[in-house]
Amino acid sequence: MTNLARRARVGRQAVAGWLFVAPFTVLLVFFLLLPMLYAAKLSLYRSTLVEGEVFAWLDNYRQALGDPEFRRGVVRVLVFGAVQTPVMIGIALVAALLIDAATSRFSRVFRLAAFVPYAVPVVIGTLMWGFLYSPNTGPLSSVIDVDFLSSGTVLYSLGNIVTWQWAGYNMIVLYAALQGVPREVYESARMDGAGAVQTALRIKTPMISAAIVLVTIFTIIGTLQFFTEPLILQPLNPGAITNSYTPNVYAYHQAFSYQQYNYSAAISFLLGVVVFVGSYIFLFVTRKRSALR
Amino acid sequence: MSVRHLSVERRPYRPRRPIRFVLTAVLTAAALVAAGCGGGDDSEEPSGPVKIKVWAWYPAFQGVVDLFNRTHTDVQIEWENAGAGQDQYTKLQTALKAGKGAPDVAMLEFQELPTFQLTKHLVDMGKYGANDIKGNYVDWAWKQVTNGESVYAIPVDAGPMAMLYREDIFQKYNLTVPKTWAEYKEVAQKLKTASPGSFIADFGANDGGFMTGLMWQAGARPFEYTAAQSPNVGVRLNNDPAKKVMAYWEDMVDSGLADTVAYGTTDQYSGLGSGKYATYIAAGWGPGYLASVAKTTSGKWRAAPIPQWDAGENAQGDWGGSSFAVTDQTKYPEQATKVAMEIFGANKDAWKIGIDEAFLFPTATPILEWDYFLTKEYEFFGGQKVNEVFVPAYNGIGEFQWSPFNSYYFNQLSTNLNQAIEKKTSWTAALDTAQQNITTYASQQGFKVAS
Amino acid sequence: MSRPARTTGGRIASHAVMALMAAYFLLPFWWLLVASTKDNDGLFGSAPLWFSGDFKLFDNLSLLFSHDGGVYLKWLRNSALYSVVSGVGATAIAALAGYAFAKLRFPGRNMLFAALLGLIMVPATALVLPTYLLMSEAGLTDTVWAVILPSLLNPFGVYLLRVYAHDSVPDEMLEAARIDGADEFRVFRSVALPAMRPALVTVLLFTMVATWNNFFLPLVMLSDNDLFPLTVGLRTWYQSATLGNAGPALFNVIVVGALVAIVPLIVAFLLLQRYWRGGLTIGALK
């Protein structure tokens, strides 16, 4: 091929390359960058019921950081994340190890059973559990005499819904990773006399640490953005699930119940930044284990 | 060329499938989209009757709409149920702010009117003849919707309060119908002794309208605000009458006489249906509500006047009640005003539906004095003429003003009271906290707060 | 695949645990099934986990499809519409971009890809409200596009497809096609797409599921009842039922509405199990 022809082809590739990434880039700009910038701009203004919009620099952020309701919400999602994540990952891991070790048909049934909740929209899963928690329409209170939606228990009840919804999905991811572990490893472990439990703990688990890290980080990201479940169940006990229950719920109510769009933008932006930065820190800290990049 | 490099499973495939599939799917979808969102925007010069869009969530409203459309040729109503309560208010606020998407006429409960007035997006119907029907409404109701000569909404229904009680339970335990709150407590204690699993009532601390109605009855006036005096607003949530009410119910709950299940939950319905709650402090629309969630108890309920703080008085409060307002996004303010005035208005045919099927309590005096309404026997109440209780209650309601940030107020009230209930702390202290938060909020919003 | 021999005790124990967990995962579905056969009074009156005397499933179903002017069917249609359009659209866009990042040389490629990687971690829900506010300024809220357009953006999908394309699209075949005179799009279509198929199906399925299940975005963007997907619609009914003064509180409609809403996805899952497993493998390993 002549130099000219080669250069023409390279030029053609470049044009094609731009064209191919164009739709995605346009979407990225319009639905990621611009909203972020717009939220940032809005968050620098103040809008009162009486006066309208005025430039307020960092007032909204100052207000948020000093807002006891916002802070409670932040603490709550942090606590929630700290508790929920190990529970979820633990259950998913145990389940994955179980089905990896078992080969009966039942394990396939079990795998399906665990995964099906993922097919249910979060809204519907929450509604279902809302009915299940109710002393009158649900079966649970006849077995355990506990008010699932009181302010002391509601966070656990919500956590349970999240676990029910996602454990199966995480289990499949971990199971898929387990499938990728070379068999020779098990062979040598068996020859060394390792029992099933030991194999599971000492060998299988570390070998899928990359997948575990992945699931962990997505779980954490999810818990920090907790929104749907508390919002749906709020009418059942508005005293326990307040309008500021989580940062996202707070941002939503600020915008739609109180028309405080600027404050809402500030909270959304703050939440976005925190999650974003936190994710990267986490990934960085676990980079050796996660084998990412 | 080594085929091994292709990590595709050995399955017959047609290379062009992806694109064809994609194109077909996208085109089908695009067709669906085009068909689905045949949005009715731009209404140019109407060649036929003027179409007025109405948002409302009244039960059995379709019949009322059909009636109006049958009897009017120049105006036709397009009704949409855009959600109930806060759901609709949120949408309305959003649409008003965006400048598009709002209906011509919207249903607004009394407590929300100042909030929407403040947006300056409500049309003054006084300019289009609304003052002509002023005579149809009692003073306090007309004041809720007006600002001097300006009329921002036409009252539709109201929620005078009464005590609905289970006659069979009262008879079973030999209870007398209490006339004062003191008597109410005695009856409650008697009931509790006789039937430990029962409560005299359920106190729904999640319902701001309910609690405000009770405080209204006791003479509390948490807000002093009219559009004319904006941005001045008086906030006195924790004054004595309000504290009296809260202290009373705190005592009732602490003594195990009243339950604290949230209103609107299946647990509350169960309680009403199973006889766990012997009374239900209800509003004028309460009978209809009760009839739908506690069908199995039909015939067992009766209505009695709400207990008084001072024997012999007729102090009353209102819980709920709604009106129709016209938004400034309407292209036909005159016709929209007409619709607002006439859908229910004082129209006996429309109100027949409203009374029989929707269980609404009318605000129009001609309907209130109408024999059909006054002497109607309600099967759910064992044939009792329930309105003979509700109408005097309605007449006893005094003036009351709402704040222009009602959703914040309701939210503060329910959040703080619920927390007091959960943590078993003082309810009156909860009122103090709410008072403080609301004052701060109002100042932040640019209001000049007086307390 | 053979596994180390298990003791019978171990087998019983592990099966017992699995059975317990399976019961936990399936309990709510059983409840939903049973509850769908009861009318409103039956829901409150009878034992939650077993049928009441009356079998009212078909009554409930007819009530479901006629309630509120038959709006449920519109919601069903909307969910399907958003799901399919977003799924197909997002996959197509991600395929183009992923392939380009993997196999085409163009200036700015690495920079853009680094930006993409950086932006993958921006939380989606933090974007919903700002996107709403932005679209509100542009007057685009309360339309189907308000839901579809943001759902077309799938940075993780691009990443996935890029990685997959890099590994599974053979350069030699690309070259061969080019030498044969095909333009870049033709090359993409006839060589790359078939090679990327498993990953494409994965991205398509996951995007469709994510859109079907989406709640926050349509909740915020849409006001018109007729445009709601099932998630927002059912929640609206639930709100009305718990409001109190909005007429009859038809919980049985909500329950059976929930049942009907989950059936399509569950059926799809059962039929397409193979793709889920394959897809998640890709996700886990990459």
Among the partner residues C41, C43, C244, nearest to B264 by beta-carbon distance:
C244
Q: Are the C-beta atoms of B317 and B333 separated by less than 8 Å?
A: no
- Pick from B157, B276, B161: nearest CA to B207: B161
C positions 98-117 inside 8 Å of A (CB): 99-101, 104-107, 109, 112, 116
Mean pLDDT of C220-243: 85
Per the document, the length of chain C is: 286
Q: Do C116 and A12 touch (CB under 8 A)?
A: no
Beta strands B318-326 and B105-109 are antiparallel
For chain C, how far is it from start to end, CA to CA, in angstroms? 23
Residue among C12, C25, C103, C269 with most chain A CBs within 10 A, to mutate: C25
- CB of B93 less than 8 A from some CB of A: yes
Mean pLDDT per block of 10 residues along chain B (451 residues) reads 30 40 46 42 60 90 93 91 82 83 93 92 92 90 88 94 94 94 95 93 92 94 88 92 96 94 82 91 86 84 94 91 94 93 91 89 92 90 92 90 92 89 91 93 89 84
Q: B8: closest CA among A203, C194, A63, A276?
A: C194
**Mean pLDDT in residue range C140-145:** 87
Q: What integer pLDDT is reported at residue A105 of this predicted model?
A: 78
Q: How confident is the model at residue C245 (pLDDT cuts 50, 70, 90)?
A: very low
B293 vs A118, residue with greater confidence: A118
The nearest CA of chain A is from the CA of C8 a distance in Å of 12
Mean pLDDT, rounded, for C177-181: 84
Question: pLDDT value at position A289?
Answer: 59
Q: Which residues pair with B55 in a beta bridge?
A: B80, B106
Residue of A nearest to B405 (CA): A258
**Is residue C44 one of the residues assigned to a domain?**
no
Whether omega before B231 lies within 30 degrees of 0, making that bond cis, reads yes
User: A235 vs B264: CB contact, 8 Å cut-off?
Assistant: yes
Q: Is residue C12 part of a domain?
A: no
Distance from CA of B265 to the nearest CA of C (A): 6
Residue with the bigger pLDDT between C263 and C44: it is C263
Q: What is the spatial distance between Cα B393 and Cα B395, in angstroms, rounded to a whole number? A: 5
User: Above 90 in pLDDT, residue A291?
Assistant: no
Task: Check if C185 contacts A (Cβ < 8 Å).
Answer: yes
Report chain B residues whose CB lies below 8 A from the CB of C43: 266
Residue C69 within a domain: yes
Element at A52 (helix H, strand E): strand A52-55
pLDDT value for C283: 54
**Which other chains touch chain A, taking contact as 3+ CB pairs less than 8 Å apart?**
B, C
Query: Which residues of chain A have a CB within 8 Å of the CB of C232?
Result: 123
pLDDT given at position A68: 86
State which fold the B50-158+320-374 domain adopts.
D-Maltodextrin-Binding Protein; domain 2 (3.40.190)
Nearest CA in chain A to C8: A102
Backbone angles phi, psi at B36, to 5 degrees: -70, -40
Residue C37 forms part of a structural domain: no
C-alpha distance from residue C55 to each of B296, B325, B400, C38, C58 (Å): 18, 45, 50, 6, 8
CB contact under 8 A, B37 and C143: yes
d(CA B79, CA B63): 11
Q: Which of B19-33, C139-153, C185-199, C270-284 has the lowest mean pLDDT?
A: B19-33
DSSP single-letter state for residue B279: E
Segments of B175-317 assigned E as strands: 201-202, 223-224, 232-235, 258-259, 279-282, 301-305
Name the residue facing B22 among C88, C224, C248 (closest C-beta): C88
Q: How far is C248 from chain B (nearest CA, A)?
A: 5
**Contact assignment for C134 to A24 by CB distance below 8 Å:** no
SS3 assignment for A88-104:
HHHHHHHHHHHHHHCCC
Q: Token pair for residue A209?
A: 């640490």
Instruction: Judge: A235–B445 Cβ closer than 8 Å, yes or no.
Output: no
CB atoms within 10 A of CB C26: 16
Domain count, chain C: 1
> pLDDT averaged over chain A?
84
- Report the C-alpha gap between B188 and B28 in whole angstroms: 65
Q: Within a domain: residue C10? A: no
Please indicate whether, in this complex, the C-beta atoms of A239 and B411 are within 8 angstroms of each other. Answer: no
**In B161-269, which ranges are E strands?**
162-166, 201-202, 223-224, 232-235, 258-259
Among residues C239, C199, C193, the alpha carbon closest in space to that of C219 is found at C239
pLDDT at B189: 95
Chain centroid offset of residue B263 CA? 13
Contact partners for chain B, using 3 or more CB pairs closer than 8 A, are: A, C
Give the nearest partner residue to B33 out of C139, C144, C239, using CB atoms. Answer: C144
Q: Which of A38, A110, A199 sits opposite C4 (nearest CB)?
A: A199
DSSP alpha helix (H) spans, B255-370: 266-274, 286-293, 333-342, 348-356, 365-368
**Chain A residues within 8 A of B445 when measuring between CB atoms:** 48-50
Indicate the pLDDT class of residue C14, thresholds 50, 70 and 90: confident
Provide ipTM, 2 decimals: 0.83
N-terminal to C-terminal alpha carbon distance within chain B: 87
- Looking at residue C6, what is its pLDDT? 53
Within a domain: C101: yes
CA distance A124 to A133: 14
C163 assigned to some structural domain: yes
Tell me: pLDDT of A292 over 70: no
Tell me the C-alpha distance between A212 and A233, whole Å: 30
CA–CA separation, C59 vs B389, rounded Å? 37
- pLDDT value of residue A27: 93
Do the Cβ atoms of C261 and A124 come closer than 8 Å?
Answer: yes
Rounded mean pLDDT of chain C? 83
On whether residue C50 sits in a domain, the answer given is: no
Q: Which residues of B touch A136 (CB under 8 A)?
A: 266-267, 269-270
Residues 6+ apart with CB under 8 A from B78: B51, B52, B53, B54
Residues of A in contact with C38 (CB under 8 A): none
Q: Which of A83-92, B171-180, C273-282 has the least mean pLDDT? A: C273-282
Residue carrying the six token digits 């017992």: C16
Report the share of chain A in percent with pLDDT over 70. 97
**Chain B CB contacts of A256 below 8 Å:** 90, 93-94
Give the containing element (helix H, strand E) for C274. helix C273-285
Domain residues of chain B, as ranges?
50-158+320-374
Cβ atoms within 10 Å, residue B428: 16
β pairing state of B105-109 and B50-55: parallel
Q: Which of B345, B403, B360, B340 is nearest to B112 (CA)?
A: B403
pLDDT at C89: 96
The chain C residue lying nearest A138, using CA atoms, is: C48
3 state SS of B46 = coil
How many H-runs (helices) and E-runs (strands) does chain A carry? 16, 2
Give the type of residue at B246.
M
pLDDT of residue B402: 94
Residue that wins the pLDDT comparison between C235 and B35: C235
Least confident of A197-206, C33-42, C83-92: A197-206
Give the pLDDT confidence score for residue B56 in this predicted structure.
92
Per-residue pLDDT at A233 exceeds 50? yes
Q: How many CB pairs under 8 A join A and B?
A: 73
Chain B interface includes C153 (CB < 8 A): no
Summarised one tens digit per residue, pLDDT across range A238-286 is 778 888 899 999 998 888 888 888 898 899 888 888 888 888 888 788 7
Sort out which chain B residues have CB atoms less than 8 A from C139's CB and list them: 98-100
| Residue count (chain B) | 451
Shortest Cα distance, chain A CAs vs residue B47, angstroms:
38
- What is the mean pLDDT of the segment spanning A100-111? 79
- Structural domain for C124, as ranges: 55-285
CA B62 to each of CA B55, B79, B157, B353: distance values in angstroms, whole numbers, following the listed order = 12, 8, 17, 10
pLDDT of residue C277: 61
**For chain C, what percent of residues have pLDDT higher than 90?**
25
DSSP assignment letter at A150: S
Restricting to A residues 148-207, those with a Cβ less than 8 Å away from any Cβ of C are: 164, 167-168, 172-174, 176-177, 179-180, 183, 186, 189-190, 196, 199
